[in-house]
Structure 1
Amino acid sequence: MSRPEKPQFKTCIVTSDYHVPGETFINRHIERIFGGDTVVLCGRFNGKNPYGKPLFERRSRLSISDRVIAPVAMGWNSLTEGTGRLPFGANRTRLMEWLHDQRVEVILAEFGTQALVVAKLANEMNLPVFTYFRGTDASRALTSPQRVKSYRKMMPRLDGVFSVSQFLLDNLAKHGVTHPNSHVVPSGVDVRRFVPGAKVPGSCLAVGRMVDKKAPQITLRAFAAAARGREAHLTFIGDGPLLEPCKALAAELGVADQVTFTGALPHEAVREHLLTTETFLQHSITDKNGNTEGLPTAIQEALAAGCITVSTLHAGIPEAVTEGETGFLVPEWDEDGFAGAIAKVLDLPDRAAMSRAARATAEAKFDNAVLLGKVEDEIRRVVALREAH
């Protein structure tokens, strides 16, 4: 006897800019959730629609009547809802008609800041609405009392909340922003594509924009300290204003021949580097504006590729990396500790066991196909309860 098929729901994915190639987690939902039966509500359309989805651009030119009422409408929404971003006037009517014409059954807002736009409207249309917190929306955004106020107003309107890490949910809770139906579901990685290859002994890799927030100088100085007297090589993938200063610093530290700066590379090229890399380095820090990561996708990819991870006690990273088993973690800004952790890995007589543990962790916790199924199952559960009532 065949098992009954699980119900599928026409889903509206709400995002800020579309299409953004680097937002793999959002693009995966647009392409695959509930079999890919999706439409896109975006703040700004960037001109490319690779999935051929019906889309609605919120920030398209306002009608004359909407421009007239905009100051009053936005002021009132800001006063009552904590945000002036809610749709209003003719644009609001047009959006409601579009959602109805597209036969949308569920709304999933990527980032809490996008849920602010649609939560009230979804309630009025009797549509189940969920959001996904991923990083800055549950860190830097909370430094604004107005944003905290708007989140508190929004939460009771949501049917459920997803977050890439428990850290972000705890951070929201510290500001009185909670939801009884909250779930930690990391973005995940395609563990069928990120598979360990033949590791190059002593190889290290760092990936990210060469900007202050990514602290590339700390990574470079720590590697230089750890690499002295050891066989090691660091590859830096990324571009940005600190690229040339870091090249000069490598020469100054006497490790120019042990460091390769590739500049920015396509995601596929990053994957190929990960497959043969032994140790992945990421010195994540909280920036001066309070912005944190959620649970970096790069670390999930590194684990899947069997890389030993050296990183920081930052945001959701300790939820992914187990000290002494799959990697080593140090406090943010602890350059000496970071160097010591790199040296620990390089001094291991056999790094294969930690590599295998890293891969096993990714398979158990970060398989994006399994995690997508968890999101779908939770939405199904909530929709069934709504229908029952």
Structure 2
Amino acid sequence: MRTAIGTSDYHVGGETFINRHIDLLFGGDTVVLCGRFNGTDPYGKAIFERRAPLSGADRLALPFWTLWNLAQHATSRLPFGKGKRDLAEFLRRERIEVILAEFGTQALALAPIANELGIPIFSYYRGTDASKALRSRRIQTAYAKMMPRLAGVFSVSQFLLDNLARHGIRHDNAHVIPSGVDVRRFAPTDKDALSCLAVGRFIEKKAPLITLRCFAEATSGTNARLDFIGDGPLFEPARVLAAELGVADRVTFHGAQRHDFVREKLQHTQFFLQHSVTAADGNTEGLPTAIQEAMACGCITVSTRHAGIPEAIDEGKTGFLVDEHDTDGFRNAIRKALTADNVPEMAASARGVAEERFDNDILLHRLEAQIRQTLGR
């Protein structure tokens, strides 16, 4: 089924879930509708860049269309003028049968033109688009107006669907399908004793400073080590804090790394640490891919009851969870994990759950089947 994948920036190496859809959905019979194209296209796809420079006529018409689209759709994201005509021609020329908009905010821009052309459109909610974005009353209104235009909605976690519903935004054809992980590539190997790993951007919702401080306090007097992979605004403060806490010799900051580097580290790591919290601006996780990858590699996860994480971790069986910002609880959970007498059993259970719930081949086929079923094909 010829599918257009709607996304923001393309190609983004860290967006493995979106890139997998671009590469493999319906046998790879896909094209890309992106906000911006950065010049990298490893899949050889036909690409339409929605935020290309405006024509002279469209620059003059911009104030009118901004007000018109805000009045009609509660958003100014929609294409208009030459950009809209070019997009319509692209969709016709490529014989697009269905559109999958990755992130609800992308669906806002594409749903009206999809309806005009008679192309079914689905949206996939993944985190920020169903948390931080909902702080805006205008986005709430735009989502509510958009829902009847969609053929269906997908989400990586039930938490996000529930969060949308709390704001009065619902769709009768909504399904939870996590991003998943390649359980054939992400698989356990020999584990390094007392090894811990944290993966993700150094930003508020990942709370790397809490993770670091709790690790230092929980593992004092041990040989436990912690590797951080990622970068961001809290990277340097974390390095400074590691020195202040006297654990610089047991904590390694790798910065941003390729996905293969992350996989190799996970394969040899015993414990995965992620103290996710709701940021001040409302930003949350959906269901972190890194946790799914860690489970596939047989890592025992220590994390928080945040967003979709409790939908992945069975407490006491595959990991340990505490409330957000509960530093005493997180420190004790790390200590409990490192001293548990059933670490091999928990690791095997984590791997089993990943195979059962998060195999991305199975999840991809489930997504395809649900789209086909909705469209009666």
SS class of match (1:256):
coil
Counterpart for residue 45 of structure 1: 37
Q: In structure 2, do the counterparts of structure 1 residues 263 and 91 end up closer, same or farther at CA, with 3 Å as the change threshold?
A: closer
CA contact (8 A) 1:223 1:342 kept: yes
Q: In structure 2, do the counterparts of structure 1 residues 244 and 84 end up closer, same or farther at CA, with 3 Å as the change threshold?
A: closer
Write the deviation string for residues 205-239 of structure 1: whole angstroms up to 9, x where unpaired: 11122233321111111111110233411111222
Asked if 1:91 is matched to 2:65, the reply is no
Write the deviation string for residues 54-103 of structure 1: whole angstroms up to 9, x where unpaired: 11111112222222221111211101210011111222122111101110
Counterpart for residue 179 of structure 2: 187
Displacement of 1:125 in angstroms is 1.1
Query: Which of these residues, 224, 232, 237, is aligned with residue 229 of structure 2?
Result: 237
Counterpart for residue 269 of structure 1: 261
- Provide the rounded CA distance (Å) in 2 between the counterparts of 1:295 and 1:306: 18
CA contact (8 A) 2:125 2:160 kept: yes
Asked if 1:298 is matched to 2:290, the reply is yes
Asked if 1:27 is matched to 2:19, the reply is yes
Asked if 1:376 is matched to 2:368, the reply is yes
Asked if 1:169 is matched to 2:161, the reply is yes
- Provide the rounded CA distance (Å) in 2 between the counterparts of 1:65 and 1:248: 53
- Provide the rounded CA distance (Å) in 2 between the counterparts of 1:20 and 1:147: 25
RMSD: 1.2
SS class of match (1:98):
helix
Counterpart for residue 78 of structure 1: 70
Q: Structure 1: 5+ residue runs without aligned partners?
A: 1-8
SS class of match (1:363):
helix
- Provide the rounded CA distance (Å) in 2 between the counterparts of 1:185 and 1:255: 39
Taking only the aligned residue pairs, the percentage that are identical comes to 62
- Provide the rounded CA distance (Å) in 1 between the counterparts of 2:342 and 2:316: 13
Asked if 1:157 is matched to 2:149, the reply is yes
Query: Which of these residues, 89, 105, 120, is aligned with residue 128 of structure 1?
Result: 120
- Provide the rounded CA distance (Å) in 1 between the counterparts of 2:314 and 2:241: 31
Give the AA of the match of 1:129: I
Asked if 1:210 is matched to 2:202, the reply is yes
SS class of match (2:254):
strand
SS class of match (1:273):
helix
Counterpart for residue 343 of structure 2: 351
CA contact (8 A) 2:205 2:284 kept: no
- Provide the rounded CA distance (Å) in 2 between the counterparts of 1:231 and 1:64: 65
Pairs aligned (count): 377
Write the deviation string for residues 150-184 of structure 1: whole angstroms up to 9, x where unpaired: 00000001000000000000000000100000000
SS class of match (2:45):
coil
Higher mean C-alpha displacement, 221-230 vs 166-175? 221-230
- Provide the rounded CA distance (Å) in 2 between the counterparts of 1:60 and 1:349: 58
SS class of match (1:244):
helix
SS class of match (1:284):
coil
Query: Which of these residues, 125, 130, 138, is aligned with residue 130 of structure 2?
Result: 138
Displacement of 1:251 in angstroms is 2.6
Asked if 1:116 is matched to 2:113, the reply is no
- Provide the rounded CA distance (Å) in 1 between the counterparts of 2:192 and 2:169: 46
- Provide the rounded CA distance (Å) in 1 between the counterparts of 2:190 and 2:29: 39
TM-score (norm: length of structure 1): 0.95
- Provide the rounded CA distance (Å) in 2 between the counterparts of 1:328 and 1:242: 25
Write the deviation string for residues 177-211 of structure 1: whole angstroms up to 9, x where unpaired: 00000000000000000000111111111112223
- Provide the rounded CA distance (Å) in 2 between the counterparts of 1:104 and 1:35: 14
Q: Structure 2: 5+ residue runs without aligned partners?
A: none
- Provide the rounded CA distance (Å) in 1 between the counterparts of 2:265 and 2:180: 19
CA contact (8 A) 1:247 1:261 kept: yes
- Provide the rounded CA distance (Å) in 2 between the counterparts of 1:79 and 1:111: 22
Query: Which of these residues, 105, 108, 123, is aligned with residue 97 of structure 2?
Result: 105
Give the AA of the match of 2:349: A
CA contact (8 A) 1:18 1:45 kept: yes
SS class of match (1:257):
coil
Higher mean C-alpha displacement, 305-314 vs 251-260? 251-260
Query: Which of these residues, 359, 365, 369, is aligned with residue 357 of structure 2?
Result: 365
Where in structure 1 do 4 or more consecutive aligned residues deviate above 3 Å? none
CA contact (8 A) 2:6 2:102 kept: yes
- Provide the rounded CA distance (Å) in 1 between the counterparts of 2:154 and 2:215: 36
SS class of match (1:35):
helix
SS class of match (2:239):
helix
- Provide the rounded CA distance (Å) in 2 between the counterparts of 1:315 and 1:172: 12
TM-score (norm: length of structure 2): 0.98
**Residues 248-327 of structure 1: pairs in structure 2 closer than 5 A:** 248-327=240-319
